[in-house]
Amino acid sequence: MSGRSVVVCGAGGFIGGALVADLCAKGYRVRAVDIKPVNQWYQHFDAAENLQRDLQQKQACEEAVAGMDAVYNLAADMGGMGFIESHKAACMLSVLINTHLLVAARDAGVGRYFFSSSACVYAADKQVSHDVVPLKEEDAYPAMPEDGYGWEKLFSERMCRHFSEDFGLTTRVARFHNVYGPHGTWDGGREKAPAAICRKVIQAKQSGDLCIEIWGDGHQTRSFMYIDDCVLGIQRIMDSEIDTPINLGSSELVTVNQLVSLIEEIAGVTLERSYDLDAPKGVNGRNSDNALIQKHLGWEPSIRLRDGLEKTYAWILEEYNARPRA
């Protein structure tokens, strides 16, 4: 694979930036594409060809894939639960990105195509209990995904499947489970739970107001995958013969309360907790069943949550202290 030409769509985002960094380090020729101006990307690298394009437009997708051997599609309008529950139409418009990229990839003779799906495709009735049974890949059907964002991801998975069946385009689909780590969103409304809680703990500690507000009752259960595991998993799945959607997530289950406690320990502080029961909180329980990825790859994400949170907290603390103060 060394030296092959690849395009990373959504390269200005959290996961996309980390993937570009790894691909460049491994000697790939990388074209990095995102809708944001390059100076607003989370990370960008001179070793890559960096392009600002709106990938909801067909011509932009054609330009993005031209001359490339492989496509990584991580481009989407998304964020944490607070964002996706209040921007359903915006999230669903991301279907234009995958549709135009698939057509462009087919027409350009691209060898392999990766699509980043989400655990939000899973049926809601499988996620009603805090004491969750880990989600198997077949649990996406009968379909009852997260409204808006989840439907877009599930539809786009089917598009990949049918482009493989009808046109012979080799597609790979990974269902991400709650990715976190440095160089991601940590404020502004699109951040996910680990980053949001890190920021809240830092604010409380530095202000002396030792209180934290938690969305929901704190008993919601989740697993969280560190970014390094995610990048490794993406490339292993891309290079594999796995031709059906597959979970890519940690199986280390915690409650939101336990997540807060871990970050408090890292920060060396104990906070008084209040619970906003009207805030977006998502499903009651969700975890990744990793039997299929273990079967095919002999591997699963394994970085401990505590270890990943220590690195994430340290990075957000540095960013928090460096930002201009009003």
CA angle 184, 248, 305 (to 5 degrees): 55
Q: Check 149, 180, 226, 313 and give the catalytic one.
A: 149
> What are residue 138's phi and psi, to 5 degrees?
-70, -10
Active site residue 226: no
| Contacts of the segment 199-208: beta carbons below 8 A, 24+ positions apart | 199/316, 199/320, 201/260, 201/263, 201/264, 201/267, 201/269, 201/271, 201/313, 202/267, 202/313, 202/316, 202/317, 202/320, 203/320, 204/269, 204/271, 205/267, 205/269, 206/320
- Give residue 56's identity as a one-letter amino acid code: Q
- Give residue 223's identity as a one-letter amino acid code: S
CA distances from 312 to 71, 193, 220, 323 (A): 28, 12, 21, 17
CA distances from 114 to 18, 155, 195, 306, 320 (A): 16, 15, 26, 29, 34
> Following DSSP, what letter does each residue of 155-224 receive, concatenated?
HHHHHHHHHHHHH--EEEEEEE--EE-SSS--SSS---HHHHHHHHHHHHHHHS--EEEEES-S--EEE-
Q: In this structure, what token pair is assigned to residue 9? A: 């769509």
List active site positions. 149
